[in-house]
A and B are shown apart, each in its own frame.
Chain A
Amino acid sequence: NAGVTQTPKFQVLKTGQSMTLQCAQDMNHNSMYWYRQDPGMGLRLIYYSASEGTTDKGEVPNGYNVSRLNKREFSLRLESAAPSQTSVYFCASSGGGRDTGELFFGEGSRLTVL
């Protein structure tokens, strides 16, 4: 019962370095999401993918790129990391459709940019 798996769980980067956060779900969900969570801010949507082959910007997309590689996988890339991107990143998926409300989250990736 893996659900949503994201890697790595922890990462420390220097300013300007790049990295990719990987996310995979085994629930055959159409929709996948990347959020960041900062103290006092709640979760903010970075990018989402309503279905395989489509991606859309969320509330805070600047500095990030995404790839919906297939139905299972949705990756988030930081091309040139900045200290402002220090955060906890959560990948999530949902079944899609108007009546499907539950988001399933990965365990989170804690990123520190020095």
Chain B
Amino acid sequence: RKEVEQDPGPFNVPEGATVAFNCTYSNSASQSFFWYRQDCRKEPKLLMSVYSSGNEDGRFTAQLNRASQYISLLIRDSKLSDSATYLCVVNEVFHGQNFVFGPGTRLSVLP
């Protein structure tokens, strides 16, 4: 079983749609959680951290359920520029930091 799993995708949605991505992780000792965005042939970049209380940044809302080991990302009023691959990332902190990446879910927002 993979340590971090995500919806396989791709998701093709019209502009203005709301889309939700799901992620599960296997290591209950994981300390911190993130969503990264990766554009085609580019490096990943941090989209947002995910906190236990849930957090929102404009059109983006992230939720964490530690009991279920589940993370979600909701994008409202999607824009063409939201087209990218979204990576769920879990940080297993021990003597250093071990960032474990999910395989990513590709989103295409269509005009």
Contact = CB atoms under 8 A, between A and B. Distances in A.
Nearest to A41: B103
Contacts of B49: 101-102
A43 B101 CA distance: 6
Contacts of B104: 42
Given A42-B103, A43-B101, A105 B44 contact: yes
B107 to A, nearest CB: 16
Which range contains the number of A residues in contact with the other chain? 20 to 34
Contacts of A107: 42-43
A30 to B, nearest CB: 9
B31 interface: yes
B46 A103 contact: yes
Contact of B98 (A40, A48, A101, A106): A48
B34 interface: yes
Interface stretch (A13-21, A62-70, A72-80, A90-98): A90-98
A58 B31 CA distance: 18
A56 interface: yes
B37 to A, nearest CB: 12
A113 interface: no
Which range contains the number of B residues in contact with the other chain? 20 to 34
A33 to B, nearest CB: 7
A105 B99 contact: no
Nearest to A103: B99
Contacts of A100: 97
Given A98-B31, A101-B32, A101-B91, A48 B43 contact: no
Contacts of B32: 98-99, 101
A42 B104 CA distance: 6
B45 interface: yes
Nearest to B85: A42
A94 B104 CA distance: 21
6 contacts: A31-B96, A42-B4, A101-B32, A101-B46, A102-B49, A103-B89
